[in-house]
Amino acid sequence: METLKIGDTGLSASRIGLGTWAIGGKMWGGSDDAQAIRTIHAALDRGINLIDTAPAYGYGHSEEVVGKALAEYGQRDELVIASKAGLEWGEGIEGLVRNATAPRLEREVEDSLRRLGTETIDLYQIHWPDPQVPMEETASAMQRLYRDGKIRAIGVSNFTVEQCRAFSGVAPLHSVQPPLNLFERDAEHDIIPYAEREGLTMLTYGALCRGLLSGKMRRDTQFNGDDLRNNDPKFQEPRYAQYLAAVDALERFARERHGKHVLELAVRWLLDGHANGIALWGGRRPDQMEPLDAIDGWKLNADDLAEIDRLLAKHVSDPVGPEFMAPPTR
């Protein structure tokens, strides 16, 4: 497994990290905890050492499952635990809302440390910017957690360049986490060039675009319960047909050019196109970790990247980003 350093912290992380949103169950039609723990162990066995989670994933449930899995697995010193803060839920609140006040962050870090069963969180990230809270308050709170050793690195997620600049004027900033995959590439216009210039590590989320790039979606695929894909514009017609056509074309290209599948192509595209990036790979079943073995040992060249862009432009005439996932402000 390829690795890189997270900023100047000395933390060394695998370039593929396990994303655990689905493991939390909420907004993904539920989850099986025992199976989720086996999934985390399968990822670690295949060389992943970075686990990305958040309290917002299942209202703390994802962190609890990750904590149980890591307690069983051991080797804590070799792992990088990344979590987040700045979203709130509870009595009188419908769903999740942004809250990056200092008291909220100070409470959240203690709750996350307890759920994860660890004395420090390796990478702690503000999940979403909170426009109702001065950036100085949010950044100062994170700096105090960093100074006190409760966290080892500071990151932000879903921030603009301007918000990153405001944050880093107060506290050290080591990483950014934007959405990025073959179908969602807005980050290439701003936050990615900024991260490269500033020497920030990128944790890019949504590598398989909520399963679209797995190659397993069909026109009649059904999503259960509260699965967020029931409200995702990409999974609604007429866009869904466009994205499925693009996946079919990318699958053919991957097989003919490299003897691979579209899933492997999608992750390889992230790694080869962004040298400072870690691709977050979501999963909640052990078998979903098996394709990891086919990602190492080959690379995409400039001609490959150009052909991928051509296929995307040909098949997806009405692209849409992940904006529907943004939580509201208070």
Decide: 15 and 52 in contact? Cβ < 8 Å. Answer: no
Among the listed residues 57, 146, 205, 240, the single catalytic one is 57
- H/E stretch holding 68: helix 61-73
136: left (phi over 0), alpha (psi -120 to 50) or beta: alpha
The 3-state DSSP class for residue 16 equals strand
Spell out the SS3 assignment of 122-139. Answer: CEEEECCCCCCCCHHHHH
* Beta-carbon contacts of residue 157 (< 8 Å; ≥ 6 apart): 84, 125, 126, 127, 128, 176, 177, 178, 203, 205
Instruction: Give the N- to C-terminal CA distance of the chain in Å, as an integer.
Output: 41
51, 70 contact by CB (below 8 A) = yes
Could you confirm whether 57 is annotated as catalytic? yes
Rounded to whole angstroms, the Cα distance separating 212 from 240 reads 9
What SS3 state is found at 120? Answer: coil
Instruction: Return phi, psi of residue 75, to 5°.
Output: 60, 35
Q: How far apart, in whole angstroms, are the C-alpha atoms of residue 197 and residue 192?
A: 9
Does 238 sit behind a cis peptide bond, omega within 30 degrees of 0 on the bond before it? yes
Which residues are part of the catalytic machinery? 57
